[in-house]
Amino acid sequence: MKDNKNTGAPSESGRVAALESELRSADFRGDIFADWGSRVAASTDNSVYQITPDVILAPRNLDDLRRAVTVLNAPEFRDMPFTARGAGTGTNGQSLNTGVVIDFRRHMRKVIDVDVEGGWAEAEAGVVRDELNDILRPLGYFFSPSTSTANRCTIGGMIGTDASGQGSRVYGKTGDNILSLTVVLADGRTFDAKPLACDAEGGVMADNEEAGISGLLTEVKHVCDCHRETLRGRVPDLRRRFVGYDLVNTATADQRFDPSRLFVGAEGTLGLVAKSRVKLTKLPKFKRLLVIGYKDFAAALGSARSLLRFEPTAIETIDDTIQEIAHREGLTRPLPEILRTPQPDGRLPVCNFVEYAGDDLGAIETTLSALKSALDTDDTVVGWHEAKGEEEATRLWAIRSGAVGLLGGVTGRRRPVPFVEDCVVPPENLSVFAMEFRTLLESEGVTFGMFGHVDVGCIHVRPALDISDAADRQRLKRISDAVLALVRKHGGIFWGEHGKGVRGQYLREFVGDEVYGGFARIKGLFDPHNRLNPGKLVSPSGDPAALWPIEATPFRETNVDVETGAGSGGTDFENAFRCNGNAQCQSYSTSVTMCPSYKGTGDPRHSPKGRADLLRAWWQLERVGDPTANEAADDVYAALDGCLGCKACTSTCPIHVDIPEMKSLFLDRYHEKKRRPLLDRMLALSESQAPMASRFAPIANLFLGLSPVKWFNRAAFGLVDTPAFSVPTLRARLAADGAAIQDSAALKRLVSDKSVIVVLDTFTTHFEADAVMSVVSALGRLGYEPIVTPAKFAGMTLHVKGFRRLFRKTAENFTAHLRGLAESGRPLVVVDAALAALLRQEYRRLLGDGAIPEVMILQEFLANELSAGRDSAWPKDIGGGREVEVLLHCTERTAFPLAGEQWRRVLNRLGFKASAPAMGCCGMAGAYGHEARHLETSKRLFDIGWAGRLGDGTDKTRCATGFSCRDQTERFTGRRLPHPLALLD
């Protein structure tokens, strides 16, 4: 069944079932996904389009891939198309299609070999670009194409679009760094695409060829020879040259034929790239960054010619729209005042980011000196600043690299979307081109943002449209047509960086009928039955009507139908419609917090993007009363069940797609029809019942520790490794120190100007009294008078499990408790940052920003005291220079971006040498790690995120800020990390 509805409604396909049976009979060992959720998660990318496949195959290696293609060539499956997919970060729908999607990223991600002397690395198509470079960096080399999606995009995907990015003027595009490709053709034959010798008659001599490969390549070479000069005359000779079916560069300088140039940029329409041998580039020893502020965007772009005289490695820019957003968001704080102060006309300076890299520091410094002198005489320049060291350069680059995310955060029904994303013109024409582009968009009544690569004349433009609106979809086509004409007018190329995809519809007009006929002939030779990513670029017939049309390809809905959804729960899931498919949540890096469940499973459904896809598709079924909505809801439930609730997406996702909040709302709705699991009810009660149970802590611990009870808890409730209650209790420990837990009524007589009100969370209070006592003791040692208040039920588990009505009531009660404490006029601090995050995010969303008194995390309070100079009573040198690593709770790291720096400042003031290394989630995240069905993933996350650092053999002192992190560490290592303030004991 071919299903191109945006909802991807659940379906049963006999042919898909038959395909699965045949694949298993052929010993296909990879994964096969035909469920609704997997299909929906593969139906979108970073474009405006949505096409739902019938099945997803994830081969394990080259042999597995060949088995799959062989089965797909059986007569009963001959009309099923198949399309390669890497990370799905394309902006033009490159990896979207019906039929079979072949997922390379899940398993085919092995770096096969690295030969530094030979200058190459060999990698499977699913290897992530940064993953490869993490292996190459210690060797002093890197794979140079530098995309903005480098932490998730695959080498295969980069080859498919001939990706590039920052620094391509010097290092070249992906295709310039490819030595050979191993390609599986549509009929299952395999060959190495690389420069090949030709015989006297012009025949191509393939190495290790399968039957007929030399003959096939000879025919292809003939087509290239016939049309090469015509294409050369049609396409401007720019650094960001024309790619995909690149007839021009198949002829090498030494008279060989290089078929790899056809496959690079062809987006899988000619064959499936299974692995590649890529060229290594030596890492430069030195880098320098100069940020130059101009009076306006036109001047910043117009500087291209003068700046290029000084031969920088890269020149990057952002327009005034993005500069203003970055300023509002506080991202421009690292800039010197002159570059972030409004000019007399009220506009901020617009910045170019100019980088130099190389091994000769003297030459770089000499060039920079000459450039600075030239800038001092340029009346369009407001000022400039050179980064002082690598750390500052990284902070400054974040302003430019954050452009996509800043635009993605724009509110309203119209939001910036990519569809005229990467036009290229000669750099000297860039300013005039961009200004005419602006005029075009303004005439259409749309706002926009622009950023890009000045040095190569590539400008990224994201007009703001409501893709859910039919008029704006027509506007998208109208703008696309006009931009093509504008590009041709200024001697440019319509597709300069992000590939063609659905925009391949313009290919015939761009290259002309003759060359396009040659493309069709090449497509027909490699893929005569039009099965490889059909509808993109060209068909064997050469008929443009066989391509996916820009204005009629299924679009991804970007706004919930408020008219239908209002009052019926639709707006609860509006946030899912904001996801733009950028997939930053699918970063491979273990030191990046978002998204732990994706890192632990490798399943796109278990990422914020995948979950947003499923929520959006389910709601579209739900709102029209489709009977399959209930079945779809089960798939949504399964995807959301794997969410740890770490809330990294809430803060880290550029669009702030808040999956934990939508999960809570969905579960509340889902369980109106379906019975709740007993475990959910138990966990929801655990927080409120902990105070009662802790009164009998010794008996409760003894009972829960019995093997039969552990077995029963796992078998009956799915609960494992429940933490032990603190013995003695916190109340008893305080009493032993002559203190007590005080309610709000007692504060009036106890409070002084040294008082700090300690707001307790249920879990730390009843399961880790040691940590609370360490905090109380440390505050006392720092000269404060800590007042410990009762641990009230805050409702964290109620929110996680979707008990919405109880959560609201609990939030109102807890807020009343906080207001009573706040009447003391003294600072309120929490022991565990997860509680503060709940108050600042979920409570404020539910009750309003002004309803919640200010409650600070410990390091926030102490850092404020330090900044205000109120640290005179603090001891001078407790740490004695001891090296300390503070391991942050994942929610704390993302909800409070300054948390690590604040701990560093506070502990350094106390004589420690502190750091807060970037780390992922420990895998516990509240109750998640205690649910038996999540145990394997929880352990895997600990292994990839924490185990290596804790077992690195150094003598550093390590502490952890989160109760769940300390619990998880003790569970898997046998030792409990202290709270940071325990270091003061």
Cα 257 to Cα 249: distance, rounded to the nearest angstrom:
9
Contact assessment for residue 178 and residue 264, using Cβ atoms and an 8 Å cutoff: yes
pLDDT at 570: 66
- Name the DSSP letter for residue 887: E
Does residue 213 surpass a pLDDT of 60?
yes
Give yes or no for residue 932 having a pLDDT over 80. Answer: yes
244-281 residue pLDDT tens: 999 999 999 999 999 999 999 999 999 999 999 999 99
Report pLDDT for 7. 54
CA gap 440, 103 in Å, rounded: 39
- Residue 452: which of 480, 476, 421 has the closest Cα? 421
Closest CA to 150 of 687, 631, 589, 539: 589
Tokens of 496: 């300069």
> Left (φ > 0), alpha (ψ -120 to 50) or beta: where does 155 sit?
alpha
Average pLDDT over residues 849-855: 91
Q: What are the pLDDT digits (tens) for 106-122? A: 999 999 999 999 999 99
Mean pLDDT confidence for 536-540: 97
Question: Does the pLDDT of residue 88 top 70, yes or no?
Answer: yes
Nearest to 720 by CA among 462, 503, 420, 936: 936
Mean pLDDT calculated for residue range 911-922? 94
Q: Considering only CA atoms, which of 57, 72, 50 is closest in space to residue 580?
A: 50
pLDDT above 70 covers a percentage of the chain that reads 98
CB 564 within 8 A of CB 490: no
Q: Which tokens go with 168?
A: 């391509």
Count of alpha carbons within 13 Å of 725, Cβ hemisphere only? 25
Q: CB under 8 Å to 641, separation ≥6 — which residues?
A: 933
Are 53 and 19 within 8 A, CB to CB?
no
Q: Encode pLDDT of 570-625 as tens digits.
A: 688 999 999 999 899 999 998 889 999 999 999 999 999 999 999 999 999 998 89
pLDDT at 806 over 90: yes
Reported as a single tens digit per residue, the pLDDT across 769-788 is 999 999 999 999 999 999 99
Q: Using the predicted structure, report yes or no on whether residue 979 has a pLDDT greater than 60.
A: yes
| Share of the chain residues as helix, strand and coil, in percent rounded to the nearest 5 | 45, 15, 40
- E-strand spans in 134-209? 141-142, 178-184, 190-193
Q: Where are the beta strands (DSSP E) in 746-868?
A: 755-759, 785-788, 828-830, 856-857
Residue with tokens 């997997």: 38
pLDDT of 12 over the 70 cut: no
Closest by alpha carbon to 861, among 982, 977, 779?
779
- For residue 4, name the pLDDT band (cuts at 50, 70, 90): low
pLDDT score of 480: 95
**Rounded distance, CA 136 to CA 142, Å?**
6
H/E stretch holding 85: strand 82-85
Q: For the ranges 201-210, 226-235, 506-515, 626-635, which has the lowest average pLDDT? A: 201-210
The pLDDT of residue 566: 41
**Does residue 567 have a pLDDT over 60?**
no
pLDDT tens figures, 870-886 = 999 999 899 999 999 99
3-class DSSP assignment, residue 16: helix
Calculate mean pLDDT across residues 333-345. 90
876 by Cβ neighbours in 10 Å (0-12 / 13-18 / 19+) ranks as: exposed
Mean pLDDT of the chain: 92
- What is the pLDDT at residue 3? 43
For the cut 70, the answer to whether the pLDDT of residue 506 exceeds it is yes
CA distance 45 to 95: 7
pLDDT above 90 (res 395): no
| Residue 100 · residue 20 · CB < 8 Å | no
Query: What pLDDT, on a 0 to 100 scale, did the predictor assign at position 846?
Result: 93
Q: What is the DSSP string of 762-782?
A: HHHHHH-HHHHHHHHHHHHHT
Tokens describing residue 557: 């809905």
Q: pTM value? A: 0.93
* pLDDT category of residue 1 using cuts at 50, 70 and 90: very low
Can you spell out the DSSP letters for 405-424? HHHHT--SS-EE--SEEEEE
Residue 452: closest CA among 359, 316, 305: 316
What pLDDT does residue 37 have?
Answer: 97
Q: What is the DSSP string of 335-402?
A: S-GGGTS--TTSPPPEEEEEEEEES-HHHHHHHHHHHHHHHHT-TTEEEEEE--SHHHHHHHHHHHHT
Does the pLDDT of residue 564 top 50, yes or no?
Answer: no
d(CA 182, CA 271): 10
- Strand segments, DSSP code E, in 203-285 are 272-279, 281-282
Buried residues in 881-897 as b, exposed as e (16+ CB within 10 A): eeebbbbbbbbbbbbbe
Tell me the per-residue pLDDT of 146-166, one tens digit each, with 9 for 90 and over: 988 999 999 999 999 999 988
**Exposure string (b/e) for 90-129, b if CB count within 10 Å is 16 or more?**
bbbbbbbbbbbbbbbbbbbbebeebeeeeebbbbbbbbbb
